[in-house]
Chain A
């Protein structure tokens, strides 16, 4: 039976000031790279945090591998990896301790083994052993993203969530990170959900793309079909036009 790895049904979430998610539904197949695109404030991060269990949705159903999720479920967290937008590396720990944090913390490995394992994972994202003992503050933006990616995949999770993986990087480094995401997730057979507003990243990384606007998915389909989506919202977004159905609340001169 082809049970989806992630099933989201009618997800709803509101904050006192506004409704953020208004009935979002999608499936992600095992091993698939699913990318959610959308403008700032469209609900992408909230969707990701609800699936991860960092935020409790008001309504809706989230199933991981056929099992309903609960907020901050430690058992499910063991199957997840997460790359945060700003890296969220722990400042006081060396790079290798960041990468091997889960293994050390859960007692899965001794510190010596965890260091070897961290260096191996750093190799997967193109970083040498020489960075293992550096502190996060000593890294460049691109290196920080790679270390964050290494931490996300270090425990060989089933699902990796990527929050704006290329934000703040120059186009070349962004492409390097995209290539790494594709190669590492394929090599390890990981299912990925990324959220981004970087269309170059979405096109490179995604098997399937969904577009979120005003808390609803306005389109989802194969990445190859995005240029002929038939959706005015998607066309406006991927072509970066100011005119169209998506209106930004800015004052016109």
Chain B
């Protein structure tokens, strides 16, 4: 094929895929904000996404906070700026690392599971069965996941923020010899509501993106085990890339002034 034609075809395929996912998101969003809602399914998703992600998000957060304190100390001691560690830990965790790492971990755990479950339902005709039983598959499958992920990710990130700061505190106090009350006072002094709020807004956006990519790739899964496997991989990869992209966009919106 002519190289120019090949580039053009790739670009058109990219635009078509982008259009499909935006349309899927719009239809999913419309199903999420209008009744009827499947309360049982939404509750199940809250538990699957929120409760069962707590251990992995908690572990990620505590080690991130601990490493952050240790790395900041070894780096900042060169400039005799060790006093900034409490601020570095709390701002990094609340603004960036809490939402991004929690988002990436949930994308790996939950986005993949959504793609696998919906993909399997697609290839075993369960989605067609929903239609024949007068149920809208978007309302029954997609909307509960979008709603639950968007609402529960901020809660998970709030927990991650607390655990991450605690990790930094533990290392600073017990390993680096900081004064506990001075460390806490420094943490509270530097923290402003916008730092936490921006992280929670990011978390809501990431939750929506994780559920969107998980549902989208499962929904469009091709037949067979290979098709479902590919949908799972695509859900994690595209979910992670979208998280990193929207992380920049939301940061730009909040802190570009």
Residues of B92-129 whose CB lies within 8 A of A: 120-121, 124-126, 128-129
Q: Say whether chain B's binding surface is mostly helix, strand, loop, or mixed.
A: helix
Tell me whether B128 and A54 are in contact (CB under 8 A): yes
Give the distance to chain A from B196, nearest Cβ to Cβ, in Å: 36
Tell me whether B135 and A88 are in contact (CB under 8 A): no
Say whether A74 faces chain B, with CB atoms less than 8 Å apart: yes
Tell me whether B125 and A102 are in contact (CB under 8 A): no
Tell me whether B133 and A52 are in contact (CB under 8 A): no
Q: Which residue of chain B has the shortest Cβ distance to A152 in the bound complex?
A: B132
Tell me whether B128 and A88 are in contact (CB under 8 A): yes
Tell me whether A86 and B125 are in contact (CB under 8 A): yes
Tell me whether B131 and A54 are in contact (CB under 8 A): yes
Tell me whether B124 and A88 are in contact (CB under 8 A): yes
Q: Which of B120, B121, B131, B132 contacts A81 (CB 8 A)?
A: B132
Say whether B134 faces chain A, with CB atoms less than 8 Å apart: yes
B125 — which chain A residues lie within 8 A by C-beta? 84-86, 88
Tell me whether A74 and B132 are in contact (CB under 8 A): no
Bound state CA distance, A86 and B120, in angstroms?
A: 12
Interface extent on A, as a size class? 20 to 34
Q: Indicate whether A80 sits within 8 Å of B132 (C-beta atoms), given known contacts A86-B124, A88-B125, A88-B126.
A: yes
Say whether A78 faces chain B, with CB atoms less than 8 Å apart: yes
Q: Which residue of chain B has the shortest Cβ distance to A157 in the bound complex?
A: B132
Say whether A72 faces chain B, with CB atoms less than 8 Å apart: yes
Q: Which residue of chain A has the shortest Cβ distance to B135 in the bound complex?
A: A105
Q: Say whether chain A's binding surface is mostly helix, strand, loop, or mixed.
A: loop
Give the distance to chain A from B119, nearest Cβ to Cβ, in Å: 13
Q: Which residue of chain B has the shortest Cβ distance to A161 in the bound complex?
A: B132
Q: Which residue of chain A has the shortest Cβ distance to B44 in the bound complex?
A: A92
Residues of B34-62 whose CB lies within 8 A of A: 44
Bound state CA distance, A82 and B134, in angstroms?
A: 12
Tell me whether A74 and B134 are in contact (CB under 8 A): yes
Bound state CA distance, A83 and B131, in angstroms?
A: 13
Tell me whether B126 and A77 are in contact (CB under 8 A): no
B140 — which chain A residues lie within 8 A by C-beta? 105
Say whether A101 faces chain B, with CB atoms less than 8 Å apart: yes
B135 — which chain A residues lie within 8 A by C-beta? 101-102, 105
Tell me whether B124 and A72 are in contact (CB under 8 A): no
Tell me whether B129 and A102 are in contact (CB under 8 A): no
Tell me whether A84 and B128 are in contact (CB under 8 A): yes
Bound state CA distance, A167 and B44, in angstroms?
A: 34
Tell me whether B134 and A90 are in contact (CB under 8 A): no
Tell me whether A72 and B131 are in contact (CB under 8 A): yes
Give the distance to chain B from A69, nearest Cβ to Cβ, in Å: 13
Bound state CA distance, A85 and B44, in angstroms?
A: 28
Write the A141-152 contact mask toward B (1 if CB under 8 angstroms, else 0): 000000000010
Give the distance to chain A from B243, nearest Cβ to Cβ, in Å: 27
Q: Which of A86, A92, A106, A151 contacts B134 (CB 8 A)?
A: A106
Q: Which residue of chain B has the shortest Cβ distance to A101 in the bound complex?
A: B133
Bound state CA distance, A105 and B36, in angstroms?
A: 10
Bound state CA distance, A53 and B131, in angstroms?
A: 9
Give the distance to chain B from A40, nearest Cβ to Cβ, in Å: 15
Tell me whether B132 and A90 are in contact (CB under 8 A): no
Q: A74-B134, A84-B128 are in contact. List 6 more A-B contacts (CB 8 A).
A: A49-B128, A54-B132, A80-B132, A86-B125, A90-B121, A105-B134
| Residues on B facing A (Cβ under 8 Å) | 44, 120-121, 124-126, 128-129, 131-135, 140
